[in-house]
Amino acid sequence: MSSNTPQLKVLVVCLGNICRSPMGEAVLKDVAKKRGVDIVVDSCGTAGYHVGEEPDERTVSVCKKHGVPINSLARQVATSDFTNFTHILAADESNLRNLQAVKPHNSTADVRLWGSYLDNKPIPDPYYGGINGFEKVFQQCTALSNAFLDDVLGK
């Protein structure tokens, strides 16, 4: 990115921050790196169920299978996230509603459904399913990462 382009700071959000959002964070970082895009990516959950925990082992397994590094600990969304990030991407409509409910008046972030950059489809929660659900989430995160970067970079 050119020096006059503001750095992208992206927060990927799901419910508990152990499946979709840490995978989305890892995939978006990887896609951006491969495209030479300067970006900061983090993830969090709208709920605090798993604060301090590592990602679900199936999330880690699928990322490793594809050679995508993943290293994060679950955290809950904070008020400061709405001014510290340029974009906040919700995995599904429920996450988006929860974000809108806690979004402060001074928010500067573009808060939206991540799927709005491609097909408006939510990222389904794979937690209660098998490994195939996690693989599908990985493929969706890859497509959404490319669509997001194409949009924000004007390509």
What Å distances lie between residue 147 and 51, 109, 127, CA to CA? 30, 18, 25
Contact in structure between 134 and 59 (CB atoms under 8 Å): yes
81 tagged catalytic? no
Ramachandran category for residue 154: left, alpha or beta (phi over 0 → left; psi -120 to 50 → alpha): left
Residue tagged active-site, from 19, 20, 44, 141: 20
How far from the centroid of its chain's Cα atoms is residue 76's Cα?
13
14 tagged catalytic? yes
Residue tagged active-site, from 44, 56, 125, 141: 125
How far from the centroid of its chain's Cα atoms is residue 47's Cα?
15
58 tagged catalytic? no
Give the separation between CA 74 and CA 79, rounded to whole angstroms: 16
Residue tagged active-site, from 14, 19, 44, 63: 14
Q: Write out the catalytic residue numbers.
A: 14, 20, 125
